Amino acid sequence: MNPKSVGVIGAGAWGTGFAQALGRGGHKVTLWALEQEVVDSINNEHENKKFLPGFKLSENLTASTNLEEVATGKDFLILASPSLYLASTVKKLVTIPNIAEGDTYIGVLTKGFVPSKNGPKLCLETIENVLPGIYKGNTVYISGPSHAEEVAMGKLTGLIAACENPKNTIIFRELMRVPGLLAYSSLDVIGVQVCACVKNVIAVVYGCCDAISETSDTFGDNSESLLLAAGLNEIQQFGFALGATHAETFTSIAGVGDLDVTCKSKYGRNRRFGQDIIKKNILSNFKDLDDLINRVSEIGYLPEGAIACKYVHEVSAKLNLKLVICDGLYRILNREVEPEEFLRELLRLKKRVKR
């Protein structure tokens, strides 16, 4: 293998886990973190104690709070910033010489929609509108069933590299040819991005159902499988409405694979959030969905599905789509309906609740 220099922008759990996989495979990786404590923890103790505690990190992995330093002169740049901050982060990169000249390959790990004055946008559309023109159609979206903890441990994980330029999908597949990762190509950049975003919304509802099932005579494993299948249908419906090009995207690891692990894994933050809604009545701390998003740091972890839910609701309303599960989570988080009441209504166990 020919080792590459890689900058990873965002030292959250997923950014760190992905960087660890590349470092373990021999690449030289530098992580950008906003917090000095994270940088010190990675550089001095080879562990990201704040966002991915308990995992010894590769000697090939270092960190810095200097964004320009992390991005300068790299063969590859991987964007892993939260969706809310993706656009503002990318704007700081465009004058760096290797980015301005298009010499660095850019990939994106961020999941979700990015807010803009013209409404929510998918990640690749957002950054390609900010980056130099050479990146149009050439940035790569990386997704799949990939909890950071297992990636950091080196447990076998499949990922899809999606790009309009097939050559770039192959280049990223080669980058990810490291122990523990299997990489595949896709040309369906919209479909893969939609799967990565909307599965988090479904997983929150799944977590609610899972928690209710523990003490319910009505809901159980069968109900959860019904919910997962119905959720996949909504993801596919939403994806095609936005311009997804390949039906097999939704039956691949980008679709059903990622949805399954997000709903069922013990590491899933969105599943956990759904469970906490039931078991800890966590929504009682917030007035509505906007209040929750504004104060999301108070939860103690980031449930991406709660943020994505707002944008999926906005986009689906514009497209006149009927996404019952996604709309239901919006109503739950907006304090319009109780989770069990919604699930009963969803499964037609009682009359539909009036808005």
233 phi/psi in degrees, rounded to 5: -60, -40
First-to-last CA distance in the chain?
Answer: 58
H/E element holding 121? Answer: strand 121-122
SS (H, E, C) 268-322: CHHHHHHHHHHHCCHHHHCCCHHHHHHCHHHHCCCCHHHHHHHHHHHHHHHCCCC
* Torsion from C-alpha of 203, 205, 207, 213, nearest 10 degrees: -140
3-state SS class at 106: strand
211 and 281 Cβ atoms separated by less than 8 Å: no
> So which residues are the catalytic ones?
199
313 phi/psi in degrees, rounded to 5: -60, -45
- Write out the DSSP string of 153-202: HT--EEEEEE-SSHHHHHHHHHHT-STTEEEEEES-HHHHHHHHHHHHHH
Q: How many CA atoms lie within 13 A of 123 on its CB side?
A: 34
50: DSSP letter: T
CA distances from 147 to 19, 27, 98, 208, 319 (A): 13, 21, 31, 20, 31
185 and 169 Cβ atoms separated by less than 8 Å: yes
H/E element holding 5? Answer: strand 5-9
- Quote the CA–CA distance of 89 and 66 in Å, as a whole number: 12
Residues listed for the chain? 355
